[in-house]
Amino acid sequence: MAAIWVYAEVKDGQVGPPALELLTKARDLGDTVEAVALGSGASGAAGPLGEHGAARVFAGDDEVFDGHLAQPRVHALHELVKEHQPNMILFATTYESRDLAGRLQARTGSTLMSNANDVLGPDRAQTQIFGGTKVVDVQLEGPDPKLVLVRPKSFAAEPSGGQAEVVPVQAQIGDDLKTAKVVERHEEAAAGPQLGDAPVVIAGGRGLQDPKNFELLKELGGAIGKAAVGATRAVVDAGWVPYNMQIGQTGITVKPDVYIAIGISGATQHLVGMKESKRIIAINKDPDAPIFKVADLGVVGDALKIIPQLTEELRSSG
Q: Which amino acid is residue 213, in one-letter code?
A: N
Residue 186 touches another protein, criterion: CB under 8 A: yes
Based on CB atoms, which residue is closest to ligand FAD, 4 or 254? 254
**Phi, psi (deg, nearest 5) at residue 109:** 65, 20
Site string for ligand FAD, 203-222 (x = CB under 6 A): --xxx-x-------------
Query: Of the listed pieces 81-89, 167-175, 215-223, 262-270, which binds ligand FAD according to CB under 6 A?
Result: 262-270
User: What CA–CA distance (Å, rounded) separates 91 from 102?
Assistant: 11
In the complex, minimum distance from the CB of residue 113 to another protein, in angstroms, rounded to a whole number = 6
Min CB(238)–ligand FAD separation in Å? 9
Strand partners, 160: none
Binding mask 47-76 for ligand FAD (x = CB under 6 A): ------------------------------
Under rule CB under 8 A, residue 101 binds another protein: yes
Residues within window 234-253 making contact with another protein, judged by CB under 8 A: 236-237, 239, 242-244, 249-250, 252
- Number of residues in contact with another protein under rule CB under 8 A: 96
Confirm if 114 and 95 have CB atoms less than 8 A apart: no
Q: Does 149 bind another protein (CB under 8 A)?
A: yes
Amino acid (1-letter code) at residue 24: T
Shortest distance (Å) from residue 236 CB to ligand FAD: 8
Exposure string for 177-187, b = 16+ CB within 10 A, e = fewer: beeeeeeeeee
Characterise 63 by phi-psi region: left (phi > 0), alpha (psi -120 to 50), beta (else): alpha
Residue span binding another protein (CB under 8 A) among the ranges 49-57, 138-146, 155-163, 208-216 = 138-146
With CB under 8 A as the contact rule, which of the stretches 38-46, 52-60, 81-89, 305-313 interacts with another protein?
Answer: 305-313
Cα–Cα nearest to 247, from 267, 259, 266, 231: 231
CA–CA separation, 75 and 79 (whole Å):
6
How many residues belong to the chain? 318
